[in-house]
Amino acid sequence: MFLFKDIRQYHNDLNNTKTSCVEVVENYLQQIEANKKLNAFTEVFKEDALKKAAEVDEVRKQGKPLKKLHGVVFAIKDVICYKDHTVTAASKILKGFKSVYTATALQRLLDEDAIIIGSCNCDEFAMGSSNESSIYGNTLNALNNTKVPGGSSGGSAVAVQAGLCMASLGTDTGGSVRQPADFCGIIGLKPTYGSISRHGLIAYASSFDQVGIFSKSIDDMALILDIMSGPDEYDSTVLQQPGKTFITPSAGKVKYRIAYFREALHHPALDEEIKKSILSLIDTLRLHGHTVAEIDFDLLDYVVPAYYVLTTAEASSNLSRYDGIRFGHQTKNSTKDLTDFYKQTRSEAFGKEVQRRIMLGTFVLSSGYYDAYFSKAQQVRRLLSNKTDVVFAEFDALIMPTSPTTAFSIGDKTSDPVAMYLADIFTVFANLTGIPGISIPLFSHSNGMPFGLQVMTKKTDELTLLQIADLFMKEYRGN
């Protein structure tokens, strides 16, 4: 049976003829079938993956230089467009829709000879924290099938967690890569906003959405980020400077200046065992010569309200295009006029959570409430950005829990949307401010589930972020 460690070792095995890309893809297809109950995939691209594997095997046999992702097997979230493949955002409104082009981020992987094995389950339109709002049903956490895998990129996380691919792509609007990574015991990265093109990504909230990466290796994460990042003529929000090189994250014996928010580690919602583990890690970091300082942050309780005001406002605008006229679901009921047709189509095809967020967004943008909600939330976002600039003027990194709890049981929060929203309290900060964040699996809870640490750095400083993550994974994992 093929065992994947990292891309470097995989390429060594290929070059030494210990395996082939076709054999590896066949192994993953068998694993996907054997783990079908996890419901991680919405569609498996069996024929395409085997065809591509045979092509890259032939390249290697001919002695040609290997591209950076030669034969590396990826899965992608069902909100990322892949030409001539179905993309539905896990929603009935896009049932059967096939993309007419490929997302820039994905195309850059394909250009380096990556193999895409399938599309992964997620919360509908990436709106959720548990992968329970998908038209395809729940994805199950591979470590404990009674627990959620996190959301919205739950399927992409489980695909890596369960060994169904080598790495996967998700999206992170408010923690949708970092929180599932935390719940599944793997690494999840949200890069700086604008570092990776959003062209070909089905939008939820355009000023927050960012393509993210799941893997089990920091080195792999660095390589994938290096390939995907950089300018794109199709996305005006992408940072225009050329992408930096992240391929060698090792930082040697650097001593870092690290901050943490007092209000975060002493928040009443935070699990006591998670709190103690992180405080213990802080003590260890200090003993090893790193500077770790507690700082006050009196805006923590504002981040979730500001986030949901702004993201639902953007969602109500972005999702207005799904009207049943040009593509996707159309109501079969008789309608009296076009407005009635829109109402029936959207009521039938959007799930409850998506409807809730569209209505919230429409409300906060309405003329009587725009200044009271949307404008105030924008002001909070500015205050958060200013505060972030002050923090990173003095510190190299900021650490925080990824989630207040470990993976919760399926159904625990579905009847209480506010409780579900509040679970994002530690992740939405990075999206509101546009900074990069990573969740790394360092700890294990007494309940048997993993949990991680969230590390954040200033905008465009993914190199330091990956160096610190690499250090923590090598030196402090399991402490």
Is 152 a residue of the active site? yes
Whether residue 335 lies inside any domain: the answer is no
Going from the C-alpha of 265 to that of each of 247, 282, 295, 309, the distances in angstroms are 32, 11, 11, 25
User: Are β-strands 291-295 and 257-261 bridged in parallel, bridged antiparallel, or unpaired?
Assistant: parallel
Of 119, 156, 168, 176, which one is the catalytic site residue?
176
| Higher-scoring residue by pLDDT: 335, 121 | 121
* Averaged pLDDT for residues 61-88: 97
Inform me whether the pLDDT recorded for 384 exceeds 70: yes
Question: Cα–chain-centroid distance for residue 275?
Answer: 24
What share of the chain in percent tops pLDDT 90?
A: 92
Is 20 a residue of the active site? no
Return all residues near 267 (Cβ < 8 A) that are at least 6 apart.
Answer: 300, 404, 425
Summarised one tens digit per residue, pLDDT across range 446-458 is 999 999 999 999 9
Whether residue 215 lies inside any domain: the answer is yes
The CATH number for 119's domain is: 3.90.1300.10
Given this model, what pLDDT does residue 479 score?
A: 62
Residue among 326, 325, 348 at smallest CA distance from 338: 325
Please, which residues bridge with residue 455 across strands? Answer: 399, 438
Whether residue 219 lies inside any domain: the answer is yes
Of 52, 77, 216, 459, which one is the catalytic site residue?
77
Whether residue 413 lies inside any domain: the answer is no
Query: Which residues form the domain of 52?
Result: 7-228
Return all residues near 386 (Cβ < 8 A) that are at least 6 apart.
Answer: none
Given this model, what pLDDT does residue 250 score?
A: 63
Is 176 a residue of the active site? yes
Band of pLDDT at residue 2, cut at 50, 70 and 90: confident
* Averaged pLDDT for residues 345-362: 97
Whether residue 11 lies inside any domain: the answer is yes
Whether residue 208 lies inside any domain: the answer is yes
Summarised one tens digit per residue, pLDDT across range 261-291 is 999 999 999 999 999 999 999 999 999 999 9
What share of the chain in percent tops pLDDT 70?
A: 97
Band of pLDDT at residue 244, cut at 50, 70 and 90: low
Band of pLDDT at residue 252, cut at 50, 70 and 90: low
Summarised one tens digit per residue, pLDDT across range 385-403 is 999 999 999 999 999 999 9
Of 152, 156, 217, 439, which one is the catalytic site residue?
152
Summarised one tens digit per residue, pLDDT across range 312-324 is 999 999 999 999 9
Inform me whether the pLDDT recorded for 334 exceeds 90: no
Given this model, what pLDDT does residue 242 score?
A: 66
Whether residue 156 lies inside any domain: the answer is yes
The pair of structure tokens assigned to 425 is 């309290």
Residue among 130, 175, 168, 125 at smallest CA distance from 150: 130
223 burial type by CB count under 10 A (0-12 exposed, 13-18 middle, 19+ buried): buried
CB half-sphere exposure, 443, CA atoms < 13 A: 23
* Averaged pLDDT for residues 214-222: 96
- What's the pTM value of the predicted model, to 2 decimals? 0.96
Whether residue 269 lies inside any domain: the answer is no
Inform me whether the pLDDT recorded for 243 exceeds 70: no
Amino acid present at 440: I
Given this model, what pLDDT does residue 251 score?
A: 59
Going from the C-alpha of 43 to that of each of 66, 85, 352, 379, the distances in angstroms are 28, 9, 24, 42
Domain count, the chain: 1
Given this model, what pLDDT does residue 248 score?
A: 62
Given this model, what pLDDT does residue 10 score?
A: 98
Inform me whether the pLDDT recorded for 205 exceeds 80: yes
Summarised one tens digit per residue, pLDDT across range 131-187 is 999 999 999 999 999 999 999 999 999 999 999 999 999 999 999 999 999 999 999
